[in-house]
Amino acid sequence: MAINFERALSVHAQTLELRSRRAEVLAANLANADTPNYRARDLDFAATLTQAQGGAGALKATHAVHVQPAGRNPGELLYRMPNQMSLDGNTVEPEQEKAAFGDNALRYQASLQFMNSRVQGLLRALRGE
């Protein structure tokens, strides 16, 4: 029986990629905390991961008059709604961004550990241990 590495590691690889992308977005928010009129962004991690795994995405329009429901595309950056916007129009809340960045970093490390244990298991299977 052949081992399909892509199938065995796909979820973890997709998760790492999305966590990395989210870290970049959150870092950009923190870097622009003092920029007037900057609007904080984030991505819907669960919806993006579901789409990356081949889950439900946008409905398929098979005719020109079919109407698509209003909504967002998974993976697209969303604007975060602030609890209290600053006077200069900036919507970044540094404490909230730092907490989200820390949570994302922790989950990134967990995904790395899951992937490492999966690779170690596949190596043991290949060696016949």
pLDDT digits (tens, 9 = 90+) for 25-42: 999 999 999 999 999 999
Could you tell me the pLDDT band of residue 96, with boundaries at 50, 70 and 90? very high
Average pLDDT (85-99) is: 92
Closest by CA position to 93, among listed 102, 83, 101, 103:
83
CB 77 within 8 A of CB 24: no
For tokens 């065995």, what's the residue? Answer: 8
The dihedrals phi and psi of 20, each to the nearest 5 degrees, come to -65, -45
The mean pLDDT of the chain is: 83
Locate 32 and state its tokens: 């622009």
User: Where exactly are the structural domains of the chain?
Assistant: 8-56+73-127
CB 25 within 8 A of CB 40: no
Name which of 5-9, 26-30, 93-97 the model is least confident about. Answer: 5-9
Q: Tell me, what's the pLDDT at 73?
A: 67
Query: How many other C-beta atoms are found inside a 10 Å radius of the C-beta of residue 122?
Result: 14
pLDDT at 57 over 80: no
